[in-house]
Amino acid sequence: MQLLQMFHDADDRIPLHSAMEFTFKLIISLVLMALVVPLTACSQSEEGSRSARRAIAQSQAIAADFLRTELALSPETASRLGLEQALGRSTAFALDNHSQAGFERRRLVRIELLQRLRQRPRLPDDHPLTRDLLIAEIALTDLIALEQFGYGRFNYAAQYPYAIDPYSGIWIEGPNLLAYRQSINTPEQAAAYITRLKSLSEALQDTRRRLIADQAAGIYLPLDLAEETERRVARLADQTPNALALLSLTFQALTLDVPDLDPDQREQMIDLVETEIDGKLRPAYVSLIETLSETSDDFPDQAGIWALPNGAALYATLLEFATGTKLNAERLHTRHIDDVARLRTDLDSLFVIEPNPETGEIAVTEPLPDRLSARLNWAITAFGTAAGAPQEASPSDLDLPEPISEFAPKSTWQRIAAATPFEEQAVQTRRYVDLLATDPIATWVREADLPHYRILIDYAAIREGWRLYVWSRRAPAENRLAQIAGLRIELIQHSLAAADTGLHVERWSLPEATEYIALNTGLAEPLARQLALTVMARPGYNAAIASSFHTIEALSTRARAVLGDRYSEADFQRALIEAGPRPLPLIEQDIEAWYGARLGN
């Protein structure tokens, strides 16, 4: 526990009692307990109650320490989750440590934090802290298992095996944090913005050094990811659109009405921001681009994570982290391929023109095109008048002009809505997003707010699997095009899962994955390639989404079979999500307890 203690003692934002003081108190408590053994049964009962309260207090302290430690390791996470108050005002002045030394420090601190979690006092099984600390232990154990590979960027919400990729990393997450997550309501917060901005160029240099160190250790970014990364970083650093100027514009806008910030001081701060961007930040981007360009000859053509040292083991660990359970990657691939084939059959059946109800005749049409993309265009012509013309797709809110917004991570649903030419699908995707926002049970957190330390742990793949389940439960629209679009959205997610295991287990190339996605989803080749690149950059994620979807669907089927007419979809989803993010095995336990209790009633 010494490292964990030193970590907290070195940071005045998170004062803790020393381990020695805790041990001394514990010894004194044990001595006192030994002195009062020969008491009456009533006294024993009272002492037992005090012991239970003490165990609860100790468990709460461990939970609070888990929160403070993780937020201190990642001030960026504290800002994104709105939990800066848990550490103090100075949190807003810091970025994460993106160096290799920072990676090792986080790993060692987490190992000691895990030891403390495992030594937690015994609480009743039905106590909320029992489940909460178990979830924290599982997540921390899986995170440490990933960190033992010695490379990558891993946290409780996302896992990336490379120091940098086209869709994530400090190169985009840092500007995005400042532009959209940094609050400026006081002069002190304005100073914090500038301090973080000054730290951003060094964080980029740390990323560049990690990239070089990884290559020296035989850990290479796949060539296709490297080229896409270089292209996107260059666009962000380009002088022509002056994309980084958004940071200065944001600062000017947020400080316009800050009380106690006089105009002269504000102008000086604006000058500091612009000087930092032009003098240090943009050159740091240029240096990163040069490193990517100079080392591109060493990048391998292989697209999958299998090419990395211990790549197969890393992929299995990523799957386990994303779901909380062990999965067989080879079997997953077979299932994904079968899922896509089944959904394609279901989708093809929707292209059939039904007989005229009055004459029984079927309209003579040309043979259907082979490729799904062409069939979709055919469907618009064939069903547009009879079933209602496709609605005009309104401009996507995602088509923002700033490259910082453009490069920020997006979900698959957002990419589809923003980029697909099939208008009805864009409409259906927006309906799906609206559903998640308005449905009273369509939320991942329970009505009573989760404890702050639980907010840290986000099983994103399970959440997306549940969202896919929500979508698939909706009654099909009367519009034939809407039916096609709805089924196609589900097909896209399963195609990405097949591409996931294809790239990282079956050793597909990027062109093979791109063609598979384009052929089975009807997406245009440029978007299919971008989706294939996102699958390359985040191994195991889409496969975990499909696995989570199948688990949730199986639990629903089982509950329906057990409960019959007493089954309630709303109550099923409430039991699924009200306890917050947790591994699949715990979700299964909760669903079994739910329908068991309903049977008992």
**How many whole angstroms separate alpha carbon 564 and alpha carbon 238?**
61
Q: What is the DSSP string of 294-318?
A: HTGGGS-S--SGGGSTTHHHHHHHH
Identify whether residues 470 and 559 lie together within a single domain.
yes
d(CA 74, CA 202): 16
How far apart (Å, rounded) are the C-alpha atoms in residues 569 and 416?
28
Specify if 359 maps to a domain. Answer: no
Confidence of residue 443 (pLDDT cuts 50, 70, 90): low
User: Average pLDDT over the chain, rounded to whole?
Assistant: 83
pLDDT at 527 over 50: yes
Tell whether the model's pLDDT for residue 225 goes beyond 60.
Answer: yes
pLDDT for the residue 86: 82
Same domain flag for 250 and 220: yes
Least confident of 37-51, 179-193, 233-247: 37-51
Q: Is 128 found in the same domain as 173?
A: no
Do both 130 and 189 map to the same domain?
no
Residue 503 has pLDDT above 90, yes or no: yes
Give the model's pLDDT for residue 62: 94
Report the distance separating Cα 148 and Cα 108, nearest Å.
10
Q: What is the pLDDT of residue 89?
A: 80
Q: Which residues contact 580 (CB under 8 A, 6 or more apart)?
A: 444, 445, 446, 450, 454
For residue 478, count CB atoms less than 10 angstroms from its CB and return exposed for 0-12, middle for 13-18, buried for 19 or more: exposed
**What is the C-alpha to C-alpha distance for residues 583 and 601, in angstroms, rounded to an integer?**
28
How far apart CA 263 and CA 251 sit, in angstroms, is 14
Q: Give the chain's radius of gyration (CA, Å).
A: 27
- Spell out a b/e string for 508-544, using b for 16 or more CB atoms within 10 Å of the CB, else e: bbbebbbbbbbbbbbbeeebbbbbbbbbbbbbbbbbb
Same domain, 271 and 139: no
Q: What is the pLDDT of residues 312-324, one digit of tens each?
A: 999 999 999 999 9
Q: Which of 133, 157, 181 is the last residue of a domain?
A: 157
pLDDT at residue 600 tops 80: yes
- For the segment 510-516, the average pLDDT, to the nearest whole number, is 96
Q: What is the pLDDT of residue 207?
A: 95
DSSP 144-192: HHHHTTS-SEE-SS-EESSS-BTTBSHHHHHHHHHHHT---SSHHHHHH
Among 157, 190, 208, where does a domain finish? 157
Q: The tokens of 20 are what?
A: 């020695």
pLDDT of residue 29: 47
In a domain, 450, yes or no: yes
- Residue 153 in tokens: 């960027």
- Report which of residues 142 and 49 the model is more confident about: 142
Q: What's the rounded mean pLDDT across residues 405-433?
A: 71
Predicted pLDDT at 245: 87
Q: Are 113 and 7 in contact (CB under 8 A)?
A: no
- 496 and 350 housed in the same domain: yes
pLDDT for 272 equals 96
Any idea of the CA torsion for 431, 437, 442, 446, to the nearest 10 degrees? Answer: 170
Verify that 84 and 150 share a domain, yes or no.
yes
The verdict on residue 437 lying in a domain is no
Flag whether 465 is in a domain: yes
Give kind and range of the element (H or E) at residue 584.
Answer: helix 584-600
Across 420-429, b (16+ Cβ under 10 Å) vs e yields bebbbbbbbb
Query: Which residues are CB-neighbours of 105 under 8 A, at least 6 positions away?
Result: 7, 73, 97
CA angle 392, 398, 403 (to 5 degrees): 140
Domain count across the chain: 3
pLDDT of residue 371: 79
- What is residue 334's predicted lDDT score, i.e. its pLDDT? 97
Indicate the residue type of 406: E
Binning pLDDT at 50, 70 and 90, where does residue 36 land? very low
Contact 127, 52 (CB under 8 A): no
User: Is 425 part of any domain?
Assistant: no
Tell me how far apart the alpha carbons of residues 116 and 526 are, in angstroms, rounded to a whole number: 49
Selection from 46-50, 236-240, 425-429, 519-523 with the highest mean pLDDT? 519-523
pLDDT tens profile 455-485: 899 999 999 999 889 888 766 667 788 888 8
Q: Spell out the SS3 assignment of 369-434.
A: CCCHHHHHHHHHHHHCCCCCCCCCCCCCCCCCCCHHHHHCCCCHHHHHHHHCCCHHHHHHHHHHHH
Asked if pLDDT for residue 171 goes beyond 70, the answer is yes
Tens digits of residue pLDDT in 239-282: 666 788 889 999 999 999 899 899 999 999 999 999 999 999 99
Tokens of 199: 């730290």
Mark whether 461 and 546 lie in a shared domain. Answer: yes
Q: Cα–chain-centroid distance for residue 255?
A: 31
Mean predicted confidence (pLDDT) in 76-91: 87
pLDDT band at 588 (very low <50, low <70, confident <90, very high): very high
Is 494 among the domain residues? yes
Q: How many residues are recorded in the chain?
A: 601
- pLDDT band at 85; cut points 50, 70, 90: confident
Q: What is the mean pLDDT of residues 349-365?
A: 68
**Those residues with Cβ within 8 angstroms of residue 489's Cβ, 6 or more apart along the chain or in another chain:** 413, 416, 425, 428, 429, 432, 471
Q: Is residue 404 situated within a structural domain?
A: no
- The reply to whether 449 and 330 lie within a common domain is yes
**Is residue 588 in a domain?**
yes
Find which of 290-299, 526-535, 540-549 is predicted with most confidence, using mean pLDDT.
Answer: 540-549
Three-state helix/strand/coil letters over 62-73: HHHHHHHHHHHH
Taking residues 294-308, what's their average pLDDT? 88
Mean pLDDT of 555-574: 92
> Is pLDDT of 73 > 90?
yes
pLDDT of residue 156: 93
Residue 40: predicted pLDDT: 39
Looking at residue 467, its pLDDT comes to 87
Helices (H) and strands (E) in the chain, counts: 26, 2
**Domain shared by 196 and 234, yes or no:** yes
Cβ–Cβ under 8 Å, residues 79 and 90: no
Average pLDDT over residues 23-37: 40
CB 307 within 8 A of CB 222: yes
Q: How far is it, in rounded angstroms, from Cα 70 to Cα 443?
A: 24
Residue 474 confidence (pLDDT): 67
Among 157, 175, 210, which residue terminates a domain? 157
Residue 68 shares a structural domain with residue 195: no
Buried b (16+ CB within 10 A) or exposed e, 267-302: eebbeebeebbeebbbebbeebbebbeeeeeebeeb
The pLDDT value given to residue 45? 46
448 and 557 share one domain:
yes
When pLDDT is cut at 50, 70 and 90, the band that residue 11 belongs to is: very low
Q: How far apart are CA 245 and CA 236, in angstroms?
A: 10
> For residue 561, what are the contacts with CB-CB under 8 A and spacing of at least 6?
none
Please give the residue range of the domain that contains residue 67: 1-157
**pLDDT score of 150:** 87
pTM over 0.75: yes
